[in-house]
Structure 1
Amino acid sequence: MFKFWTGRFEGYSLNSFKKDLLSGIIVGIVAVPLAMSFAIASGVKPEYGIYTAIIAGILISLLGGSKYQIGGPTGAFVPILLGIVISYGYENLLLAGLMAGIMLLLMGIFKLGVLIKYIPRPVTIGFTAGIAVIIFTGQIANFLGLQGIEQHEKFIDNMKEIGGHLNTVNVFSILTALTCFTVMILTPKKLPKVPGALVGIIVSAVAAAVFFAGDVATIGSTYGAIPNKLPEFGVPDITLEKITMLIGPAFVIAMLGGIESLLSAVVADGMTNSKHNSNRELIGQGIANIITPFFGGIPATGAIARTATNIKSGAVSPLSGVVHGLFVLLTLILFAPLAIHIPLAALAPVLMMVAWNMSERKHFVHILKLKSGDSIVLVITFLLTVFTSLTTAVEVGLILAVILFAKRMSEMLSVSKVLPDHDSNRGKVLPHVVKPTHDCPQVNIYTVEGPLFFGVAQTFEQCILSSIHTKPAVLILRLGKVPFIDTTGEEYLRNVIQDIKGKGCTLLVTGAKPTLKIALKQYGLTDEIGEQNFYPHTGEAINRAISCVNQNACIGCKHYAFKECQEFANSHIS
């Protein structure tokens, strides 16, 4: 039996170890080609992806907040990392990854993991679909075997580059890519437990070596030999100037890494009926991304597909992730020299399939069909991700989502004038009772429903003040259905209080929930209203209001808004 400080190994047994060993090996087999593919797509050498899968994979499993999380390089990072490599170079990418790790660590320490869940779904689906498009189109050149291609940061520039080199199409590259793609599609149908990507790469690499030797670009011809050992420890060049320059890219890496890892952890929770620790997950991701750059690794995060594979393969603890990392290390040591023969055209279908699977196409189409504000947020986030940058897309997407949220919340506000319904046995106060011939000029009662925040506060004030045409003796505000109030709502409520008090009117508040009463006290509104003017029930406030009215003013009134009105009328008649 094993029991570590994490508590995630409680009840661990030899049988558990066998399951973790098997699942770790299976995930390791899946991870090797993906690690190299993501590294190449990110504009760096394939071995850097391997280093990341080993080091970050082991650390994320050991230190993260999910028992089943598999960490490593992912497709989501490809556009960001490629842009950083093009603009700043590989050495600065290492520093940006290190800075992102520190940010993730701080986010976890200060318990900000819970904030990630507040990013709206249309925003995450929008930028995920946009990233998928970038990854897919980024592999067209390798699929077609185009020569002389220069990578650019902008999508449009890359499309122009491809269009300008279509005359260099390599038929042998296309045949190699189609071979890999066909094997990838057929393998799961014939051999469900065998990774299709790995089989596709091996078969297409062998076919290219036998039939198209020297006619197809390979990892070796493009990037040189892959060393069969981990790199030596090295410290990135750190200067204040570079830190200032890379703070933006590092923040994007940290935010996307946090989102991706926690989404992966949520998927794992759903598959295993477990519960991850979001803040601990960020801490684990942060430490992994701090250490990995010292060994040449690129930024890493939780990989949803590999995590799902880990669970389906029978993993029971984080040890499966450690086995996965060790298996990738063993593969590097034993088979690195063979990797140079892998054609780039064989890796293209693998990444295209990754892009297809991560595109969230079903959710994308579903939200699009809603034809709502969410649809607009989705499309704009998607287009900005593809045509500008992920940073711009997320910023604009979040702003639009906040505006949309404020609009929806403002539509929830309801301010209605009410009076007791004498036809009802319970005498509830209802808006339909108020009529031109059935009202009370001395006691005004309003039911407020919905949050009093910046989007609706002014509307609330106008609804109250514009409908008070006389100088009532008492104003009753029923706030039982007001869940919260912000500083803008506080300001406009204060305006109402001051206006009413300026008219010599008494303000009574009923039904306020404890959280609302705390907020009113913090804003100083409780003192303005008067502690004695708060009532738990409207009936009690009405009794108080009746005692405050000028009964002489009731002479001749035929409205009979309250039961007491009849008594006042009769007493004057007698």
Structure 2
Amino acid sequence: GMLGCIDTLLTAVIADNLTRTRHDSDQELIGQGIANLVSGFMGGLPGAGATMGTVVNIQSGGRTPLAGVTRALILLMVVLFAAPLTQGIPMAVLAGIAFKVGVDILDWSFLKRAHRLSLKGAAIMYGVMFMTVFVDLIAAVGVGVFVANLLTIQRLSEIHSEEVKAITDADDAVDLTPRERELLRQGCGQVLLFYLSGPMIFGVSQAISRQHQAVASCQALVVDLSDVPMLGVSATLSLENAIREALDRGKQVWIVGAKGRIRQRLENLHLPLPPERFVDSREVALAEAVAQLGLPLEASPLV
């Protein structure tokens, strides 16, 4: 069943590339499942999308489902009535046709420049090709998807790790309002703004652990989650460690912009924080932090 699904979706992707269209994977697999059920009831063997037949059909001008139905009906006629006429065709001829179609399936222009786009991607592609020939298709696809997902997660983690910043002044690349910059200046390095943005997946937990070491040099910690749409379990635990470490050292902690599931997840951790320490505005949190530390809070200049 898995091999049939992979083969059908592979055929659909190749057909999309040849015809510049987009297939419906659900429709393809449901149709294949119904066909295999009917075939089983009638004593037939299960089948899947035929890549070579599809390519030949497209190269012959077929673009609609009627082309596939026509091909199936012709094969049915050959099996039922025309077998004596086709049994004399040499196997060498059929092998030559299959080889020619197989060569035409390959995207030679992409193979020539695959290494220029991504060495890792090219290595995965050639590895999958090698395993398909010498092992089997299911193992090749499984290994290829697994390795590709690992590389994607690694790259996403690197990108999101750059969005974890510990700020004690207004010279960082975070987009702060003039009032927020002024409040950080008034904090005299005693107020730490811990800014996170983007989905916090498990790969970002190390970046959070590295940055929360800056807590030791401050007296107040403001954790800004306003630009975080998703907080993973590992990132949540790393964030919890940073908050608890700050509280254990007697620091004051505020959490900004935690809403919906993120707020619920933090509350489920039972952090020793009163509800008023969960605020919606970064400016409010910074102002309260400066005031809580007893630092002189200058009024915002009138414009």
Q: TM class, shorter-chain normalised? A: 0.7 to 0.9
Q: How does 1:19-30 map to 2 (within 5 A)?
A: none
1:440 to 156, 177, 188: 188
> Could you say which residue in structure 1 is the equivalent of 2:254?
508
Q: Secondary structure at the match of 1:475?
A: strand
> Could you say which residue in structure 1 is the equivalent of 2:37?
290
> Could you say which residue in structure 2 is the equivalent of 1:355?
102
> Could you say which residue in structure 1 is the equivalent of 2:10?
260
Cα distance in structure 2, aligned partners of 1:383 and 1:324 = 31
User: Conserved in 2, the CA contact under 8 Å of 1:478 and 1:509?
Assistant: yes
Alignment identity in percent? 23
Cα distance in structure 2, aligned partners of 1:331 and 1:394 = 34
> Could you say which residue in structure 2 is the equivalent of 1:417?
166
Cα distance in structure 2, aligned partners of 1:470 and 1:501 = 13
CA distance 1:321–1:403, shift in 2 (3 Å): closer
Residue deviations 1:516-541 (CA, integer Å, cap 9, x gap)? x4144146457535543333332222
Residue deviations 1:278-319 (CA, integer Å, cap 9, x gap)? 323211111222333544445222644256358x4464xx45
Report the residue type matching 1:260 in the other structure. L
Cα distance in structure 2, aligned partners of 1:256 and 1:314 = 22
User: Conserved in 2, the CA contact under 8 Å of 1:268 and 1:307?
Assistant: no
Shift of 1:408: 0.5
Q: How does 1:93-242 map to 2 (within 5 A)?
A: 100=1
> Could you say which residue in structure 1 is the equivalent of 2:55?
305
Task: Output the aligned Cα RMSD.
Answer: 3.5
Residue deviations 1:488-536 (CA, integer Å, cap 9, x gap)? 1121111112112222323223345x5xx41441464575355433333
2:233 to 484, 487, 499: 487
CA distance 1:453–1:289, shift in 2 (3 Å): same
CA distance 1:393–1:330, shift in 2 (3 Å): closer
CA distance 1:468–1:380, shift in 2 (3 Å): same
> Could you say which residue in structure 1 is the equivalent of 2:178?
427
> Could you say which residue in structure 1 is the equivalent of 2:203?
455
1:537 to 281, 290, 293: 281
CA distance 1:428–1:373, shift in 2 (3 Å): farther
2:111 to 360, 364, 367: 364
User: Conserved in 2, the CA contact under 8 Å of 1:479 and 1:509?
Assistant: yes
Cα distance in structure 2, aligned partners of 1:355 and 1:425 = 58
CA distance 1:329–1:385, shift in 2 (3 Å): closer
Q: Is residue 547 of structure 1 aligned with residue 291 of structure 2? A: yes
1:376 to 120, 123, 126: 123
Which TM-score applies when normalising by structure 1? 0.44
User: Conserved in 2, the CA contact under 8 Å of 1:420 and 1:428?
Assistant: no
Cα distance in structure 2, aligned partners of 1:494 and 1:324 = 62
Cα distance in structure 2, aligned partners of 1:396 and 1:350 = 31
Residue deviations 1:171-199 (CA, integer Å, cap 9, x gap)? xxxxxxxxxxxxxxxxxxxxxxxxxxxxx
CA distance 1:258–1:456, shift in 2 (3 Å): farther
Q: How does 1:46-57 map to 2 (within 5 A)?
A: none
Cα distance in structure 2, aligned partners of 1:328 and 1:258 = 19
Query: Structure 1: any 5+ residue segments left out of the alignment?
Result: 1-99, 101-250, 555-561, 566-574
Q: Is residue 498 of structure 1 aligned with residue 248 of structure 2? A: no
User: Conserved in 2, the CA contact under 8 Å of 1:494 and 1:525?
Assistant: no
User: Which structure 1 residue ranges, 4+ long, deviate > 4 Å from structure 2?
Assistant: 264-269, 562-565
Shift of 1:471: 4.8
Cα distance in structure 2, aligned partners of 1:548 and 1:389 = 66
CA distance 1:524–1:385, shift in 2 (3 Å): farther
Report the residue type matching 2:290 in the other structure. I
Residue deviations 1:214-260 (CA, integer Å, cap 9, x gap)? xxxxxxxxxxxxxxxxxxxxxxxxxxxxxxxxxxxxx3x14413522
CA distance 1:503–1:420, shift in 2 (3 Å): same
CA distance 1:524–1:535, shift in 2 (3 Å): closer
Q: Secondary structure at the match of 2:195?
A: strand
Cα distance in structure 1, aligned partners of 2:201 and 2:192 = 23
Cα distance in structure 2, aligned partners of 1:538 and 1:523 = 18
Cα distance in structure 1, aligned partners of 2:56 and 2:26 = 21
> Could you say which residue in structure 1 is the equivalent of 2:75?
328
Q: Select the structure with the greater relative contact order (CA < 8 A; seq sep ≥ 6).
A: 1
Which TM-score applies when normalising by structure 2? 0.78
Residue deviations 1:25-78 (CA, integer Å, cap 9, x gap)? xxxxxxxxxxxxxxxxxxxxxxxxxxxxxxxxxxxxxxxxxxxxxxxxxxxxxx
> Could you say which residue in structure 1 is the equivalent of 2:144?
397
Q: Secondary structure at the match of 1:456?
A: helix
User: Conserved in 2, the CA contact under 8 Å of 1:480 and 1:510?
Assistant: yes
Cα distance in structure 2, aligned partners of 1:376 and 1:520 = 42
Residue deviations 1:100-137 (CA, integer Å, cap 9, x gap)? 2xxxxxxxxxxxxxxxxxxxxxxxxxxxxxxxxxxxxx
Residue deviations 1:317-336 (CA, integer Å, cap 9, x gap)? x4554344333323444422
